[in-house]
Amino acid sequence: MISSGSSPVLSQEEEAMFIDHLKFMASVECGFIRMEVVNMASEYAVCLHKRDKEHPVSKKWVKTFMKRWPELNVSKPRALSLARAKATS
């Protein structure tokens, strides 16, 4: 398959591992808002030496990432706050 544009930040295998982590965290009722996904993806990319701390992944990257993985459901901040409050009470 040939595609135009810049090369992806993470390989398919690396993205799959990141997805597994997000799904596991969701299974223990620890969902994430979009900005948390941006931060975690940036940290992961830094650990893999694919980015440095001064050049995190962008919101655009997360948007295309979410299109590649439609089974993910990132919560809105208010809904997530309610879910976390219920989980701790």
Dist CA 37 CA 81 (whole Å): 16
Q: Is residue 4 part of a domain?
A: no
Decide: 46 and 53 in contact? Cβ < 8 Å: yes
**Residue 77 has what pLDDT?**
52
Q: Is residue 53 part of a domain?
A: yes
Q: Is residue 43 part of a domain?
A: yes
**Residue 62 has what pLDDT?**
85
Q: Is 22 exposed, middle or buried (0-12, 13-18, 19+ CB in 10 A)?
A: buried
Q: Is residue 5 part of a domain?
A: no
**Domain total of the chain:** 1
Q: Is residue 28 part of a domain?
A: yes
Percent helix, percent strand, percent coil in the chain, to nearest 5 = 60, 0, 40
Q: Is residue 50 part of a domain?
A: yes
Domain housing 63: 12-88
pLDDT tens-digit map of 30-83? 777 788 889 999 999 999 999 999 999 988 888 898 888 888 876 655 555 555
Q: Is residue 36 part of a domain?
A: yes
Q: Is residue 24 part of a domain?
A: yes
